[in-house]
Amino acid sequence: MKRVLWYLIAGSKGGVNRARIIKTLHDRPYNINQLSKELDLDYKTIKHHIKVLEDNDIIFNSTGEKKYGAMYFLSNRMEENYSTFLDILSKMQSQ
């Protein structure tokens, strides 16, 4: 999981926005539209990052389907590794 997080957050374009999404979903579940408003990002941008995060087992949605309004949550795997995520963020910010 550590390698996946390093790649998704620090090693690829869009990592900052993905980190913001993860941090936001750690507080409570959101749907794509709510995330778009909360993070002040374009709906399509959020949708793209959600797909990347889902494909890497970082988040999941409540219905298992790609429906409008589906709520997104951090996966159990991500919850277990949240401290690793925070370590990666702190190392990125100190550079």
Q: What is d(CA 57, CA 76) in angstroms, rounded to the nearest whole number?
A: 9
C-alpha torsion sign, points 79, 77, 81, 11: negative
**Confidence at residue 56, expressed as pLDDT on a 0 to 100 scale:** 96
pLDDT in tens, 3-16: 999 999 988 889 99
Domain count for the chain: 1
Q: Which CATH number does the domain housing residue 36 bear? A: 1.10.10.10
Structural domain span for residue 45:
2-94
Which residues touch 41 (CB under 8 Å, ≥6 apart)? Answer: 17, 35
pLDDT in tens, 31-74: 999 999 999 999 999 999 999 999 999 999 877 666 778 999 99
**Model's pTM, two decimal places?**
0.92
Packing angle, helices 15-27 and 43-55, rounded to 10: 80
Q: Which residue has the tokens 């926005």?
A: 17
Rounded CA-CA distance 76/63 in Å is 16
